[in-house]
Structure 1
Amino acid sequence: MGLLALLWVPLLWIPLLWVLPAAAGSLDRAGLEKLFPAPLVVGEKDEAAPVWPILKQEAGSYEVFAYAFESIDLAPIPGFGGTPPDLLIALAPDGSFRDVRVIAHHEPVFLEGLGEAPLFAFVEQYVGLSARRAIRVGRPNARAGGAAPQAVVDGVSMATASTRVINESILAASLAVARRKLGFGAAAQVGLKVEAKPDLFEPLSYRQLLERDYVKRFTVTNAEAEAAFKGTSVEGSSEGPPEAVLSDLVIAYLNAPSIGRNLLGEVRHAALMRELGPGDHAVMVVSAGPLNPLGDDFVLGSVPDRLSIQQEGLTINARDMAIERRGAGMEGLPSGPWTILRIGSQAGFDPGAPWILTEKIVRERGQILVERIAQEISAPYALPAALFTRETPDAGPSWIESWRARGVELGLIAASLGLLVPVLARQRGLVSDQRRFTPFRLAFLAFTLLFIGWYAQAQLSVLTLVGLVRAAAATHDLSFLLYDPPSLLLWGFVLATLVIWGRGTFCGWLCPFGALQELAAWAAGPLRIRQITVPPRLDRGLRLVKYAVLAGILGAAALASPLADSLSEAEPFKTAITLSFVRSSPFVLYAAGLIVLNLFVYKGFCRYLCPLGAGLALAGHLRILDWIPRRAECGSPCQLCKVRCRYGAIAPSGAVDYAECFQCMDCVTIIHDPRQCVPQVVARKRGRRLTPRPVAAE
C-alpha cells in the first residue's frame, strides 16, 4: 500500500497551497509595446492599479486611446481547469472594448480537441461592445438568431462553463477599471434601462421649455474662453470684446415627448423615434453664436470632434444622425448649425441622471508649424426623474445565469437521480427481478450516455480535482464549480452516495464513458467475443496503476506543472464524451482502443487506469454501509457471485471489495433470486428458507 500512501502527499499540500499568493499578470511595458505599436504610445503604469494607459496624439497633445490591463490582476476567476484565464483587455474612454486577447489559459476543452481557435474567435466578439452593458453568453449562433448584439456573445459548443467564466472575467476586470478610471461601474448601473415615458406629453412653447430647463441654453464669452487658455502659448489671442459671445448652444434631449414633440413637431418626432430604435437616445445641439461647434470640415454621420457627452466621468459615444437639416424646429429655436446626436443603447446612458455637454474650443498658433491648443468647456444638463421609467434588473451573482439557462437539463438529471435512488435502495423491488431490471439498467445507461454525457456535457472528470488543487495554489476560489451546474449537481449526488454505498453509484450508473463501454459490450454480445481472464496476481498489480496515475496528475497540479494537463489525457472522457470523438487521430484512437479493450477485458480502463475512479475509491473508504447482502454459504462452498462478477470485486471468501465494486447489482439480483442463488436452490429442495446477511468488506 506504499503507492496509495504516496497518493495522499499532493492532497496534503492543498492547505499549504491555499495560503500562497495568487498568480499575477505577465505583461510589462515591452510586451505591451509589441501589442500596441506606434503611432500608439504606452504610458506609465498606474501606481494604484495594474492598468497601462495607451496614448495617441491628438491636436498637439496626447490623449488616452485605451486603458490596457490583464484580467488575472483584477478578476482572477478560476476556469474549468482551476486557474484563472488571463486576458489582455483594452478599454476605451467611452467604456467600449477596443481589444480583447487571450494571453494564457488552462481550459481543458481548448487545450486539445476544439483547439484554441474557437476561444480566440469567442473573445474577438467583445471588440466594439460596451462594458456599460451586461453581456451574457448565448448558445452558438445566438446573435445570428436575432439576439441583441450588444447584450449577447455567441457561445461555443461543448465549452459552456469555460466561456461563461471567461465572460465573467472580462466584465469583472473591466468594471474594476471603469470604476477607477472612467467613473462608472457600480453594480446597479450594469444593465440599467432608463426610457422616456412615451405617453407623457404637455404642449409647451420654446420659452416654457427654457424656463423648465427642459431645454438648456449655454453661452461662452470671449472672456470665459480667454480664462480657459490662460497660461498656454495662445493666451491673449481672442478676437472681439471680452463680453462678446463666442459660443451659444441650445441643448435638448429629444426622446421625452414634452421636449422632442414640441421642438420638432409630432410628425418629425415620430419619424425620429422610429429611426432611433429601442434603447437609443437623441440629443439636439443647435448653435446660435459665431463659433460653429461642428467645425468647418464636419462630415454628416460622423462623431463630432468638438462636441462630446459625458456622464459620471465617462465619455459617451454620440454620433451625428445625418438626417435632413432643413425645417429643424419650432418658433424661437435658433437657426444656426445643428446636429442630432445619437447615443446607442449599449452606451449605458442614463437620461434621467445629470450629464454634461462638453465643447472643445481650439486655438492655433503659427503659420508654418501650426500649433493647436484645445480646451474644453462644459454645460450641465439634467431632467426631472418623473419624465422617465427606470428598470434595474436584479441579475444576482454571475453564475446564476448558468443555472437559469440549464434549468431543463438540471430538472431531468435530478429526476433521473430521484428514480435511481429507490431502485438501488429497495433490493427486493426491481433489482430482484432480472427480467425487468436488465432492461431498466440498459435504458438508464443509455440516458447517462446520450443525455448526461453528450447533451448536458456533465461527464465528471479528474480535471475537477486538478482544478481544486490549482485553485488552492493560485486563486483560493472555488466559484468555478458553479459555472457548470449539471456537473456540480452530479458531484453533490456522487459525494453523498460515496458515504452510503461507495464509488459504484457513479462508476456503474452515472459515468457516460463507463456507460459507453457497457453498452458497447452489450451490443457486441452476438459476436460472442471471449473475455480474457486476468490472472489474480497481475489483476491486483494492475489495479494499483490508477492510483499512480492519480498521484502523478495531482502532484503535477500541486507543483503548477503543465504536465498535469498532459497526464489528465489518460482519461478519454474529453475525447469520447465532451468532444464526441471530434478530435485529432491519436486521441480518438486511444479512446476507441479502450472501448475495444473493454470487449476483451471488461471495463479494463475503469478497473486499471481511471484516475477519477481511483479518487472515488479512496473517498469510498468513508462508506458507512456494507450494503451488499451475503449468506454463510457465500465463498464456501458457493462461488457463483464471484464467478459472475465481471469486475472481480468479490473475493474467494465471498466478501465484497467495495473499492472495486461498480454497483451493477448482479450479485444482489442473484442472492434474491431463488432460481439462481445456489444456497436457496439447495435449501428449497431440503424444505428450508435462507436469509441473506451483510458481510464486512475485506
Structure 2
Amino acid sequence: MRGQVFPERAHPSPQPSPARERARVAALKRHCLDLVARGGGSETRAWPLCLALLALLLAILPAQAGQLDRAAIEKNFPPPLVVGEKDAALPIWPILKQQAGAYEVFAYAFESVDLAPIPGFGGTPPDLLIALAPDGTFRDVKVITHREPVFLEGLGSEPLFAFVEQYAGLSAKQAIRVGRPNARAAGAAPQTTVDGISMATASTRVINQSILASALAVARGKLGFGAGNVGLTVRAKPDLYEPLSLPDLLARGWVKRLTVTNADATAAFKGTGTEASGDGPPDAILTDLYVAYLNAPTIGRNLLGQARFDALMRELGPDNHAVMVLSAGPVDAPENPVGERFVLGAVPDRLAIGQGGLIVGARDMAVERRDAGQAEGLPAGNWTILRIDQAAGFDPSAPWALTETIVRERGQILSEKIARTFSVETALPEDLFTRVKPEDGPSWTDPWRARAPELAALAVMLAVLVPVLARQRGLVADQRRFTAFRLAFLAVTLGFVGWYGQAQLSIVTLVGLVRAATATHDFTFLLYDPPSLVLWAFALAALVAWGRGTFCGWLCPFGALQEFVALLGRPLRIRQVTVPPGLDRALRHVKYVLLAGILVAAAVGSPLADSLSEAEPFKTAITLYFVRSWPFVAYAAGLLVLNLFVYKGFCRYLCPLGASLALLGQVRILDWIPRRAECGSPCQLCKVRCRYGAIAPSGRVDYAECFQCMDCVTIIHDPAQCVPQVLARKRQRRTTPRSVVVA
C-alpha cells in the first residue's frame, strides 16, 4: 500500500479563527482607525502606535492545533483498515489491519501541526496527515492545509501534493534532504533525498522539516527510537583485524549462539495446549543457530575467509550491513528457520533482527552457498547472510538481537496458530567501528550551505553599493558614469536577486511574522530562505541610516523592472502624467490602509490576508516569471503599463511593503541628502526633477517617499546643473576685472 494509503487528496483550506478573536481584532482595528482620523495629517506617526497595539494582541491568540476528528481519520483510512482508539499520551491514531485472524498496527496516523508546528512562509505551520509504520517507514503523507504563498494562487497545490508523495517508503530514521528538482534522476540517493520544487525551495524545506520533526516525535514516544541516530552512519573499521578461532569469537561474545531445546519450547508454550508438540527428550535440540555480524573483519574474515569476505563486501556495498545465521540443529526439523524450505533472496518469515524495540528490515542476499570458505570448526549446516540496508538505521555498535519465531497449531478443523519468540542479543565493542555523525546544525543550515555561492555574490553586491551611496562626491557626482552604474546595478538586482535568486522581499514575510506570532511564536521559517533574510537584514540596517529608499530604489527586483520599462517611454514618445498635488497626497495614504488591512487579517487568521497580499505583483512578475493565470498576469502587466504614464505609481501609492518600510524608516538618524539655503526658495530644480514627488516646494526631502535615485544629489554636486552654483559662477565672472593691455 505504498503511497496509496489515503484514498483522496484534498486541496488545502484555511483554518477558521474563533469568532471571539475576530471580534477583539475588529475592535482593535476600529481603535487604530480612530487614532489615524484624530491624527489628521500625521498618519506616519499614528500608524506605528496602531501596529504596536496590534502586536500586543498577538501574544494572547491561541496556537494552531490539529483539526481531524475520528470521522475524518476514518475517511482517510477506509476498510479494510480500522482506526483504533486515540493514544492517551500522544495525539496519534493507531491504524489497524487484520493479519492471521488478529489485528496488527499497520501505521500510526497523526497531524504534523500537533507535534511539530513549524511556521511556513505564510506564517502558519503547514498541516500534514502522516501515516508512519511501526518500523519508522512512511506509509504516506497528505497535505491537509497550508498557506505557503508560492503555492496559493501561484504554482497551485498540485506540485506540493506530488512533493509529499515522495516520502512514501522512506524511513524516518534517515536524514532526508530536499534536493534540487530531479535530484534523484541526477544520481542523488533515493532513500535520503526528495526532489525539490523550482521556485519553492524554502517552502519545501519547511515542509520536509515538519514531516521529519513530527515523525521523530512519534518515534521517540511510541516506536522506541529517537532523533539521536537519525543520519548517523556506523562503519566497521576495515583495517582492524585479528586472527581468531570460532571458540575465541564465541568466548568474546562476537559470535552468538541461540539454542532452543524441547524443554525451552515446552515452557514457552505452556498453557496453550501445544506443549507436547516436540519430539524426543527434553534436552533434545529443536534449533541451534550461530549469529554473527560480518562487516567487522575480525569476525567476517575469520568466518568466511579472505577471498569470500572481500567478495561479500563488494557485493554488499557501502554502509550496508551483513549478518550471518547458520543452523547447526536438525536439518529436517520443522522448527529450523533456515532449513530446506528457506527461500533464497526472501525476507525470512521466522527470523528477525531488532534494535531499540524495532524490527530492522533484513533480506537474504542469495549469495553462493558452495565453497564459501567458512572457518575451520564452524558447524556444517544451512546458513543465510541477511542484508540490512543503510536506510534501516541499524547501528551495529549498539546492542541488537536476532529473534526466532516458532509456530505451533492446535485444533484440527479450525486450527489456530500460536507463536512464541526466542532471541539472542549481540553487543559488539564500539572500538570495532567508526561513527560518522550527520552534519552538525539544525535543518535550516542546509540552505545556507547550499546557497553559499549566491550569498557570497550578494555580499559583494551590497559591499559595492554601500560606498557608492555613502561617498556622495565620488561616483554619484558624475551624472554620466553614475547613470551607467545605476542601470547596471538594477539589472543585477532584477536578474540575479529577483529571477535567479528568488529573493524578492514581500509583504508576505510580514504576514508570516504575524501568523507565526499568533500560532507558535516560532520564527525559524525565516532561516530557510538565506538570500531574502540577508536582504531583510541589510534593508533594516539601511532604514536606520538612510531610510526606505535603499531597498525600494536599489534592491527591489520589481522596482528595477519598472525602471527599465519606464525607459521605453522616451522612444515610444509617452509623456509622464503629473498627478495633482491633492490627489497625490490622498493616493499615498492607500498603501498604509492596505498594510493595516493585511496585518489585521493575518492576526485574526483570515485568508483575506493572502488575498490582499496579491496587491503586490511580485509573485507574478518575479517569483513565477509571469507564468500564472491571466488575471494576475494582466494585473502585473497593467502596473508596468501604468508606470509608463505615472512613474512607479505602484511603489508610491499601492505597495504595502513600501508602506511598512516607510513607517520603520521613521527611526532614520541621518538627513543625508545635502540641501542649500537656496533649495526651495528660489531654486525648484530638484523638486521638478524628482520623479517620485519626494521633495516639497520648500526644498524639504520627504524621506518616507524618497527612493534614493540620487538625482538630486548629483544635481547639487554638479556645478553645471545646480542653479545656485551656476548663478554664483556667472556673478563671479561679471565682477572679475579684465586685464588692460597698454601699448
Counterparts of 2:344 and 2:250 in 1: how far apart (Å)? 28
Residue by residue, what CA displacement relative to the aligned partner does 1:461-502 show, whole Å, maximum 9, x if unpaired? 000110111011111111111111111111111111111111
Partner of 1:679: 724
Residues 617 and 659, structure 1, Cα contact 8 Å, conserved in 2: yes
| Amino acid aligned to 2:336 | N
- Structure 1 residue aligned with 2:306, among 225, 244, 266? 266
The answer for the alignment partner of 1:321 in structure 2 is 365
| Residues 442-464 of structure 1, C-alpha deviations (whole Å, 9 max, x = no match) | 01101110111111111000001
Structure 1 residue 660: deviation in Å?
0.8
Alignment match of 2:468 (pick from 423, 438, 446): 423
For 1:288-342, what per-residue CA distance to the aligned partner results, in whole angstroms no more than 9, with x for missing partners?
2332225876543222221111111121111111223334533433443332111
The total of aligned residue pairs comes to 688
CA RMSD of aligned residues (A): 1.9
Deviations 1:412-445, CA, capped at 9 Å, x for gaps: 1111111111111111111111011000100110
Q: CA deviation at 1:523?
A: 4.2
Distance 1:640 1:417 in 2: 31
1:180 to 2:221 alignment: yes
Q: Please, which of 526, 534, 539 is the counterpart of residue 494 of structure 1? A: 539
Matches for 1:562-573 after TM superposition, within 5 Å:
562-573=607-618
Match status 1:330 vs 2:375: yes
Structure 1 residues not aligned, in runs of 5+: 690-698
In 2: Cα distance, 1:334 partner to 1:582 partner: 70
Letter in 2 for 1:635: G
Residue 432 (str. 1) matches residue 473 (str. 2): no
Q: Is the 8 A contact 1:469 1:554 kept in 2?
A: yes
Structure 2 residue ranges without an equivalent (≥5): 1-35, 38-42, 735-743
**Given the alignment of the two structures, is residue 215 of structure 1 paired with residue 255 of structure 2, yes or no?**
yes
Task: Identify the residue that residue 281 of structure 2 maps to in structure 1.
Answer: 241
Q: CA deviation at 1:73?
A: 0.9
Q: Which residue does 1:254 correspond to in 2?
A: 294
Instruction: Report if aligned partners of 1:10, 1:555 keep a CA contact under 8 Å in 2.
Output: no
Return the alpha-carbon distance in structure 1 between the equivalents of residues 421 and 61 of structure 2. Answer: 48
Secondary structure of 2:240's partner?
Answer: coil
Separation in 1, partners of 2:364, 2:217 = 31
Which piece of structure 1 moves more, 379-388 or 221-230? Answer: 221-230
Would you say 1:12 and 2:53 are equivalent positions?
Answer: yes
TM-score by length of 2: 0.89
Q: 1:667 aligns with which of 700, 703, 712?
A: 712
Is residue 615 of structure 1 aligned with residue 656 of structure 2? no
- Who is 1:21 aligned against? 62
Aligned to 1:311: 355
CA displacement, residues 482-532 of structure 1 (integer Å, 9 cap, x when unaligned): 111111111111111111111111110010000010011124432221111
User: CA contact under 8 A between 1:294 and 1:305: conserved in structure 2?
Assistant: no
Structure 1, 431-440 or 204-213: larger mean CA deviation:
204-213
1:382 aligned partner: 427
Q: Which is worse superposed, 3-12 or 421-430?
A: 3-12
What secondary structure, in the 3-state scheme, does the structure 2 residue paired with 1:112 have?
helix
Q: Which moved more, 1:591-600 or 1:234-243?
A: 234-243
**Structure 1 residue 263: Cα displacement:** 2.1
Contact persistence 1:143–1:149 (CA under 8 A): yes
Corresponding position: 1:648 with 2:690: no
User: 1:300 aligned to 2:344?
Assistant: yes
Q: Which of 464, 468, 476 is 2:513 aligned to? A: 468
Q: Is the 8 A contact 1:60 1:372 kept in 2?
A: no
Which one of 148, 160, 164 corresponds to residue 119 of structure 1?
160
Shift of 1:196: 1.2
Q: C-alpha deviations, 1:531-577, integer Å up to 9, x for none?
A: 11111111111111111111111111011001111111110101111
CA contact (8 A) 2:339 2:382 kept: no
- Equivalent in the alignment of 1:352: 397
Deviation per CA, 1:594-624, whole angstroms, max 9, x where unpaired? 1111111100110111010111111111111
Secondary structure of residue in 1 paired with 2:407: strand
Is 1:131 matched with 2:172? yes
Per-residue CA distance 1:92-139 (angstroms, 9 max, x = gap):
222221111111111000112211121112111211111111111111
1:279 aligns with 319
Which range moved further: 69-78 or 7-16? 7-16
Partner SS state of residue 154, structure 2: coil
Displacement of 1:375 after TM fit? 2.1
Sequence identity of aligned pairs in percent? 75
Is residue 2:503 matched to residue 1:458? yes
Q: Is 1:657–2:697 an aligned residue pair?
A: no
Q: Given the alignment, which residue of 178, 181, 204 partners 1:163?
A: 204
Q: Is the 8 A contact 1:11 1:554 kept in 2?
A: no
Mean alpha-carbon deviation: is it higher for 562-571 or for 255-264?
A: 255-264
In the aligned structure 2, how far is the partner of 1:471 from the partner of 1:513? 26
Alpha carbons 2:286, 2:336 under 8 Å: kept:
no
Seen in structure 2, the aligned counterparts of structure 1 residues 22 and 231 have a Cα distance that, compared at 3 Å, is: farther
| Structure 1 CA distance for aligned equivalents of residues 733 and 144 of structure 2 | 74
Instruction: Tell me if structure 2 keeps the 8 A contact 1:14–1:473.
Output: no
Point out the more displaced range, 582-591 or 316-325: 316-325
2:114 matched residue in structure 1 = 73
Does structure 2 retain, via aligned residues, the 8 Å contact 1:59–1:374? Answer: no
> Does the aligned pair in 1 maintain the 2:353–2:362 contact within 8 Å?
yes
1:154 aligned onto 2:199:
no
In structure 1, what is the Cα distance between the partners aligned to 2:551 and 2:166? 38
SS in 1 for 2:709: coil
